[in-house]
Every structure is written in structure tokens, then in C-alpha cells.
Structure 1
Amino acid sequence: MAERIVADLVVERLRAWRVPRVFGCPGAAIAPLVGALDDAGGDPAFVPARHEETASYMATGHAKFTGGVGVCLATQGPSAVHLLNGLYDAKLDSKPVVAIIGEDVTGPLGGAHEEIGLSRLFGDVCNQFVRYGRSPEQVPTLLDQAFRTAAATRSPTCVVLPRALQVTAVPDLLPQTAGVVTATPGEPLARVLPHDADLDAAASLLGNGRRVAMLVGQGAHGAAEEIVALADRLGAGVATSLLGKPVLDERLPFHTGVLGEVGTTAAAQLMGSCDTLLMIGTNDPWTDWFPMPGQVRTIQIDIDGRRIGTRYPVDVPLVGDAAETLRALLTRVPENPHREWRGMVEKMVDRWRETAAERAAAPAEPVNPQLVLRELSARLPRHAGVAVDVGSVIYWYARHLELPPGVRAQLCGTLGSTGCALPYAVAAKLARPDEPVLALLGDGAMQLNGLAELITVAHHWTRWRDPRLIVLVLNNRDQSGVGGGRTPGGRRSDVPYAGWARLLGLHGVRVDRPDLVGPAWDEVLAADRPAVLEAVVDPAVPLDAPEPALADLRGLVTDGDAARRVRERVIQTEAIAADEVV
């Protein structure tokens, strides 16, 4: 029987925490752990990525799509540096990830790798927990602490294991650590509810509101039923943050869509016309599209009290789980639906939907990218996973892809780093191989990470019960930046993306005519293997960010006579908005 070493002990702790797979790139300093994973019989599995950055994206994508703890590994030096992007994604979007770093300092002092101190390197991104393993006896507790901290703080943590420690024999007298009972990361570890007095104050404020708006973020996941019930009770309109887009059925008649630069005019109008704002599980940074401070009374619900009031002034803070807090409010808020306001909101939504349809149908050279997402919207499979990259594709996703209940969608929402979508999609597909997954990205993201990670897809797909992993590449050949359009020197080298897929044994379709977009979606959705849909689109299609709500009133003094004048302008603006949507 082979001698039990610390690397085997690490695998045992990963198994105890029910980690299904570990993402990473092999290297000398982490080789013993990779060898132990290879001997583990797939429990947990080791998934080699083409690059450490995509491994960290996969770990974060696993956390985002499953609610579990993502795990990635790398070696010291540049390999560890490459993990930072995905770990910052996890930190800023509040997802639990554990990074395990191998270190080998047995060579000459002052070696190149030693110049990158791992404690300093990970000290910010994993500021909740960075620890070194020093002895076999420490390792089980060290890993348990890393997982518990990641789950409790919804953030990445880091464990550094020297190579010499990984190959150290485990003492026979080392006590067996008890099995771990895990909570679901990303959810509260205990029942958290606001104080009754705060709930009463929030209910009173909502009950007195005549034009209530609700802004829903990713923290409201699992609370859709309560949100709709409260919105109906108050006759409220609803908007979402970009990360909150999958929370609610977007076909609801009072759902105005995503708020912010990538969002809809209906959502901006909702914020510009409301007098009461309920923020649920959102830390949306696009505050230019919020109501003017002083225009509304505001309640904010968040499980993390540190986030309340950081983006916008709050009258009543409610620290608690979204669903639990909303259920408590529903018992306190009187039935007071404001039908005139709800009617106005629904007209805003109808008008926006007409505008969106017109924009998608507008001629372009050769294909309008908005049309590509709109054609997918009618075909999107139920219970699909959708991974979205950074770039103009976010605008088209936010405005034109309606997400029905059951569809999971994730993106690098706060960090905004390009190249995440295909690694996310791989993680989502490995977690649920019997459900379709789509990755939506531009040609820049495809060249950055996608071309390489398509090799990973080609390696795994034959073991998937549902082989559909569909990669949409919006090929606009433009590298001048989002919304840059055609500028001198702004052309990106073209790549045969669909041809590359076919070279790897996958399916590939290239579309450069608008009448073929719908049939192309039908083809890739019916394919018997993963597919790349390359749509050659027009880079000159304008992004058309909505006008910020009451932007012209920002910065005015809001005391005395100035406050009265501002209130009068708000009333006038609301009246104009009401006339426009009637």
C-alpha cells in the first residue's frame, strides 16, 4: 500500500467539503497534489485549463452557477499571478473560491519566484484568509478554515502548501478529522432578519409611497415570488441590476429591464419618476441612473450591512436575507395598489419593447448584433446556463435576451474583465452536463481566452449527456473599444472562429446575412456536439445608452428655496414623462 502523504490528506479534505472538481494548471510546485487528484478516481476530478487565468475563472464560474465553493490551484511565481483576475472577479461579485498554491523554495536563495511574495500577492484579493501550511498536523484545520471563511464571507481565500510539505508522510498518530457539514455558500449561515422596528418603519414608508420602484440585484436570488407579491400589493414597477437580471421573469408587464448604461429607457424612466425606492440585494455601481438624492424615500435590504448606503442614501436600512425580509414586509404592508402608477410603468415597458424591436430590425452591414440576441431570445432553452463576456455583447444581452424562469445567467459584473464567458461555460457544463449552456462573447474575448479553452471543450464533451455547449462569437473585427465603431487602426485581425471549431471536431456555423440568423440558431441548438456560431456583425451599430434619470438636476443644493425649486422640477419632469408614455 502506498504511503499516505499530505497531498492525499488535501484530497480527503476536498472530498469532505464535497468539492466535485478542481481547476488548475499543473506545475512542479503543485505536482504532488495534482498526482493525488489523478489517483482520486474523479472524486474530486482535476480539470486542467489552458491557462491559470481561465482556471480561476472556471472556479469562480463554478461558484456563480452552482452556489458551491470553487477551487483552483497553481504554482508560485507567474502561475500564481495569473490567478488574480478570476479571484478578483470572485471577490467583487461576492463568490466563495479557495485557491491552493504550491511553493518550492528549496533552490538557491533569491530565486526569481521568491521575489513574488505570495502573502503580499494575495493579501488584497484574499484579504479574509491567506495562510501557509507548515506541518501535516495543520493541513486539515487549515483547509477547513479556508472553506469556512470563503463560505461565510462570500469571498476568495488562499492556502499555500510548500512542495516539501505535500510529499511529507502523514504520521500514523495524526487524528482523523471529523467529516465536515457544509452550509450553502452565498446564502446566510443563519436566519438573519431585521429588527421589528425597522420592518415597521419600512412598511410605513412603502405604504405611503404613491410611485414605488423596486431595484433588484443578485442578492435577491430565490426571492422572485416575494418580489412579485410585494410589487403587486404596492402597484410597483421593477428594474434590475445587470447581475440581478436572472432573478425575475423578464416577461412580466411591469418589469422595466436592466438599469444603467447597458440598460433600458424604461428602467431609467422608472427611476426618474418614482417617489419611493426599495433596493433588494443590490450594490449596483451605475448610480447616475438612480433617482436624484432627495427625490425619493429609500429602503435597502442586504444580508451584508457594510453595503447598505454605500451607493445611495438610505432612509430605512434592513439587514437581512432578501426572501425572509420580504416575507416579513408582506405581513406589514397594506394592500394599496396604485393602478395609475402601475399603468404608467406598463406603458413605459411597452414603449421600450417597441423601441428594442425597432433597433434589432434596423439594417446593418452585414448583420445587426441586436438581431442575433433577439433571435436567440425566442429559442433559449429552459433550464439553460448562459455565460456572458465583457464588451458590447453585454449591451445586447441586457436589452434583447429575455430570461424566462429557470435560466441561469452569469457574467463578470463588477470587475468587468474580458475573457470570462467560455471558462464560465465550461464550469457550468461540467456541473450540469445534462443541460445546455451558452457562452456569449465578442471576437476580442474569443481571441483572448476562447480559442484556447475551446480545446478544453473538445476534450470533455463526449462525456456529456446533453452535448450542447454553444459559443456565440459576435465578430465585428473592431478593437477600438466598446462602442468605438470604425476608426483608423481599429480593425482586429480576423480569425475563422467557426472553422477552428470544426478543426477541433466540433460544429461551426458562420453567418453574414440577417435572414440566416434564425436558422443558424436552430442548427447549433440541434447539433449533436458543441458548436460555435460566428455572427459577422456591424461594429457601427450604436450602443444608445439611456439618458440618466434627472441628470440635469444633479449637484443642485437641496436646502431651503433650492429644495423647493428642485421638487417643482421633479414634479414637472414626472408629468412630462407621464405624458410621453400615455
Structure 2
Amino acid sequence: MSRTIAGDIVTALADHGVTQVWGVVGDALNPLTDAIRTEERVEWIGVRHEEAGAFAASAQSQLTGTIGVCMGTVGPGSLHLLNGLYDAQKSHTPMLAICGQVPTAEIGTDYFQEIHNDRVFDDVAVWNQTLTSPDQMPQMLEQAVNAAYAERGVAVLTIPGDVGGLDVHDDAPAPRFAPAPRPPLPDEEQLAAAASALQDAHSVTMLVGQGAAGARNEALALAARLQAPMVVTLKGKPGFEGHNPYEVGQAGLLGNPGAIEALSSCDVLLMVGTDFPYREFYPSDATVIQIDARAQHIGRRVSVDVAVVADAADALSALLPQLDVRADTAHLEAARSTYGAWRERQRKVADPDYEDSGLVAKVRSVFDNPDDRIRPEALAAAVDRHAPDDAVFTVDTGMSTTWLARFVEMRGQRELIGSFNLGSMANALPQALGAQALDRTRSVVSMSGDGGLMMLLGDLRTAVAFRLPIVVVVFDNASLGMVQLEQQEAGQASFGTELDNPDLAAVAAAMGLQARRVEDPGAVDDAVAWAFAQDGPVLLDVITNPDEIAVPPHPRASQAWGYAVAKITEAVESRS
């Protein structure tokens, strides 16, 4: 039996460990999808929108480290991949996008559906070429995959419709992919400089991120030796939450006063595996040490005094023997105390009976929840209680991320994916589909905003069609909540943020999911427990309070004043 370009590509990816390919079928892709049809090791998952396929494949890559694969056919189909591909690029995860193209004889003639793929994908891709001949195999596929791994980014392989089915020479070797490069070992001079700065410090704060996830034991040992509070980035939650006596939560707008205190009062900041982007939260006069496997990330956010380019586990293991045990615990205890008090206040707000818990709660409710709607904090806390300790969480950008960051603990084997670098809407549902397809027995939770869910609503049906038992929890506040809060903090009345949603539970039920609509605060816990007990995809449409105040960790007077002015303006307009 003759070998074809499409067949060799699919076989090579299956040999490499790729188990699913995501996309929408089309004529230029027919040779590829036919090759997938006959390859038992690879499942084709046809989504309702190519963007969903790119998000799903990216989620799989982030969870496994194996390259994610998605496909889009000529012109419009390929263009639809772009948002998901940009999210993969900014998440630094290896992806292969196979894009169809018009027949070779028509390239450059402004043919029906033709676009210039090389130009379109130039910015998002670390490798971007068009395959036009069997003589280019296997080298072109190898270059694409190797580049995606080496640079942890997106490779785009364009294949014209008349090329995928061409025969490959019998003596052409099968594609083989190079191993991903290892980070460099830490330099001794860099380590010595870091150790000296840490040894001489009066108070050290650690800022740890996703890049340190494989170094949890080493990071906790270093925190113990230095008595250092540990600020954890949002992407670092899965590696450093749960049984961590040094953690003080997140900084940034999602964060808390304990993390801000830890950062502002240290004289040495040790950054490990993080590229935390918000400059205003870094200390202004501390010595900064940054450990990162990517040299290009050193100093991007804050001026760095000591740079250590290495894998986090290697660097921390080498640092530990060079440091004495610190006896002074005042810095750690102060930050932990502030963090603990903040968590207790948050716990009270998440109580379904908060409205009746005292004078402060009653006054606040009159201001921000006069209709006694479900508080999103209570919903997030219920999800945290009922989700298994090995669940995968995906979360939409916006207020959904705030509630997850504050009320869902990444304990046990829990994992977390979101559009944390690109900040796209509509990412949670397709990322949940990708995660669930890897293991249909593991709980996967999509914490969706109503705005995000409605953008790619059609792919709820993908969960049904491919038997993907995701739990979709919708924070249905009938608004683009984060934008509304931004407007209010600037003293502007909310405008353009209202969403006229249908009954999302009824829509989901019509699509074949099990679904409930929840409007009573007292029914939240039972509804969440029910959702996790079902066999098959589930959607909870939870009607939450649209005016909930997400107080930043270090609120400025201008923000409070702006919010007050905005609420007054809204009240005046609503009465006119």
C-alpha cells in the first residue's frame, strides 16, 4: 500500500503520542481527515468553531507537555484558529496547526477562499511554512514539531488541497522528532551571588509561579530556611496551594493584603519561575533575584540585581546548602497573619447566610445586593467543596477568574488552565473539552462567565457528541462583570456591559446536556453536589449578583471614589 503525505503526518503524530486532533472538516483537509479515520490511535474531534479546537488542543498541550494539534481548512477555517493559537503562544505551549490551502495551481490568483497563510500566521508562529511537494517530507514536518518544542510555541504547516494525498517515496524515512531541550544548569557565580544576597537579607519574600511547579519541595524547603512568605501567582496555584505554611496567596488585582504586605516590606525579593506582569505590585527598593529557565524573561517586569538562568528545581537545590537557617520569623508571621484575617473575611462573604450575619453584612447587602441574589463567592466556594481533589479547572477571563482565585484551592492533584496571558473571552468551555478528552473519567470543571460561554455556545454540543462529561458552572450575572467594574472604578456609569441572556439551562438541555437553573442562594450547595454526581456533561446556570464588589488587595481612594460616583450616576439615570 502506498504512503501519502497525509498518512505519514498522521502516523508520525500517533507514534509521538498525539491522541486527538481538533478542527472542522473541509475539502482541503480531506486527505488528512481520511488518514485520521483509518488511524486507530488518533481521535478526530470535530468542533463547531475552529477557535474552540485551537483552545482545546492548547489545553491538552499544557496538561501533558505533548504537542497539541488542531486543523483549519482553507481561508476562513484557518483564520478561526487564530485566537486559540495566540493563547497557546502566550502560554508558551507547543502546538501544531495544520491549515488547508487552495490548490497549488491557484495560489496567488485570489482564488475562492484564498488567504496568504504565510502572512497571516507570521506573528503567532515560531515556524510557518507551506508544504508543496513529497520531496519535502519528512524534513518539513520534523522542522515544524521540533520548532514548536524548542521554542515552546506554535508551528503552522500549510498544505494545499491537492498535496496531502500525494504519494511519498517508498524510501523516504519516517518522521522523527527531536527531544525538547533541557534548561541550562545554574551557573556557580550566579548562584553564589544569589546566596550572598539572601544570606545578608533582613527579610526575604518569595514570588513563585508556574515555572516552579516542578520544584515544590525545594521551594518549601528554601522558604523554611529563610522564614520567607511565599506569594503565589495565579498560574502557580496548582503547584503551591494546599498544605503550604508559607503561602500568602496572590498579588495583583486578584490578590489580598497579605501578599501586598509581604512584597512591600521585604528587602530581598526572590522570584522563581514567574513572569508576573503587573509592575505596580513589585517592591520599589528591594534587591531582586530572578530564577527562570528562559533568559529572555529575566528583567522584563522589574530590574533584576541577580539573574539565575536555570531550571527552578536545579537552582533551588543548589542554593539550599549555601544558606543558614534563619531564626527571625517576624516577617513571615506578619504576612501570614494579615493573609489569615483576609481569608476569614472572605469565608464569611461566601457563607450562603452572609446576608443575615450581622450589621456590616446587612449594610453591604443594601448597597451591593439589594435583591438577595446568589453571591458568586458562595458559588465558587461550593465548587471548591464538591470538586474532587484531582479535578481540572478551566476558567473564563474576567470576574470568574477572581472568584476562582480567591475561593478555589488547588490542593491535591488539581490543575488549572485559563487564558491568563492573552486574556481572551470564551476560553473555559473549549479548554475543558480538551482536558476532558484526555481522560473521560477525570472531573473537569469549566467555570464560565455568561459572556464567555455565549461566544462559543455551539460547542456545548461537542461535549454531548463526543461523550465528554464536563461540568460547566456559569456565573450568570447578565453582564460583562470585569468591564463593568473597570468602568465603575473610573467613575463611569456602566454602559454596554449588560447581557440579555436566555435561560442557559434550557439551552443546554436542548443541546443534550443535563442542566439546572439556580436562583435561590439556599439551593447552591445541593445543585453543585448534584452536578458532580451526574454521568455525562452538565451545565449549572447560576444567577449571581451582578453588583458584587471585588475589592482589590490595596484599594486606592480614587477607586473607591470612582465607584461611589458611578453608582450615584447609575441611580440618577435609572430614576430619570
Q: What TM-score comes out, normalization by structure 1 length?
A: 0.88
| Equivalent position SS for 1:544 | coil
Kindly tell me: are residues 476 and 178 of structure 1, through their superposed partners in 2, closer, same or farther at Cα, counting changes over 3 Å?
A: closer
- C-alpha distance in structure 2 between counterparts of 1:302 and 1:489, whole Å: 41
Taking the aligned partners of 1:55 and 1:91, their CA distance within structure 2 comes to 15
Which residues of 2 match residues 49-448 of structure 1 at below 5 A?
49-105=47-103, 106-107=105-106, 110-111=109-110, 116-126=115-125, 128-172=126-170, 174-177=171-174, 179-180=176-177, 182-183=179-180, 189-190=181-182, 192-292=184-284, 295-361=285-351, 362-363=354-355, 364=369, 365-448=372-455
Decide which moves more: 494-503 or 537-546: 494-503
Matched position secondary structure for 2:239:
coil
Pair 1:477-2:483 in alignment: no
Work out the CA distance in 1 between the residues paired with 2:267 and 2:5.
60
Unaligned runs of 5+ in 1: 184-188, 552-582
Moved more, 351-360 or 534-543: 351-360
Secondary structure of 1:222 counterpart: helix
Contact 1:440 1:471 in 2 (8 A): yes
Percent sequence identity is 32
Task: Name the SS for the 2:466 alignment partner.
Answer: helix
What TM-score does the superposition give when structure 2 sets the normalisation length?
0.89
Aligned-pair CA distance for 1:107: 4.4
Measured after TM superposition, the shift of residue 489 of structure 1 is 5.5
Query: Is the alpha carbon distance of 1:381 and 1:278 closer, same or farther for their aligned partners in structure 2, counting shifts above 3 Å?
Result: same
State how far apart, in whole Å, the 2-side matches of 1:261 and 1:545 are: 5
Query: Residue 317 of structure 1: SS of its match in structure 2?
Result: strand
Distance 1:444 1:389 in 2: 9
Given that 1:76 and 1:118 are in contact with CA atoms closer than 8 Å, whether structure 2 keeps it comes out as no
Are residues 53 and 108 of structure 1, via their aligned partners in 2, closer, same or farther at CA, if it must alter by over 3 Å? closer
Hey, what does 1:453 align to over in structure 2?
A: 459
Residue 137 of structure 2 aligns to a residue whose secondary structure is helix
Describe the superposition over 1:13-66 as per-residue Cα deviations: whole angstroms up to 9, x where unpaired.
Answer: 21232211111111111121111111212x222111111111111111111122
Displacement of 1:359 after TM fit?
3.1
Mapping of residues 541-552 of structure 1, within 5 Å: 541-547=548-554
Tell me what 1:579 maps to. none
Bigger drift between 109-118 and 475-484 goes to: 109-118
Shift in Å, 1:159? 0.9
Q: Offset of 1:223 from its aligned partner?
A: 1.0
Q: CA–CA distance in 2 between the matches of 1:103 and 1:489?
A: 39
C-alpha displacement at 1:338, in angstroms?
2.5
Q: Residue by residue, what CA displacement relative to the aligned partner does 1:470-526 show, whole Å, maximum 9, x if unpaired? A: 100000011472525784664311222222232233221221121111111111111
* 3-state SS in 2 of match to 1:164: coil
Mapped to 1, the partners of 2:138 and 2:208 lie a distance apart of 39
The amino acid that maps onto 1:271 is L
**Per-residue deviation, 1:322:** 0.8
Q: In 2, are the aligned partners of 1:248 and 1:405 still within 8 Å (CA)?
A: no
**Deviation for aligned residue 1:435:** 0.9
- Is 2:41 aligned against 1:25? no
Contact kept? 1:16, 1:179, Cα under 8 Å: no
Residues 65 and 548 (structure 1), Cα distance of their counterparts in 2 relative to 1, 3 Å cut: farther
Q: CA deviation at 1:319?
A: 0.2
Whether contact under 8 Å (2:146, 2:177) holds in the other structure is no
Pair 1:140–1:549, CA change in 2 (3 A) = farther
CA deviation after TM superposition for structure 1 residue 264, in Å? 1.7
Distance 1:182 1:162 in 2: 29
Displacement, 1:10? 1.3
- Distance in 1, matches of 2:512 and 2:122, equals 42
Task: Sort the Cα spacing of 1:167 and 1:316 in 2 relative to 1 into closer, same or farther, 3 A.
Answer: same
Give the drift of 1:215.
0.7
**Residues 116-169 of structure 1, C-alpha deviations (whole Å, 9 max, x = no match):** 31111111100x211121211212211111111111111111111112111212
Deviations 1:49-106 (A, max 9, x none): 1111111111111111222111111123121111111111111111110111111144
Describe the SS at the equivalent of 2:230: strand
Contact 1:391 1:482 in 2 (8 A): no
CA contact (8 A) 1:385 1:408 kept: yes
Q: For the aligned residues, what is the CA RMSD?
A: 2.2
What is the aligned partner in structure 2 of residue 16 from structure 1? 15
- What is the identity, as a one-letter code, of the residue corresponding to 2:346? A
Residue in structure 2 matched with residue 513 of structure 1 by the alignment: 520
Structure 2's unaligned 5+ residue stretches are 356-368, 559-576
User: How many Å apart are 1:237 and its aligned residue?
Assistant: 0.3
1:423, 1:191 → 2: CA distance?
Answer: 31
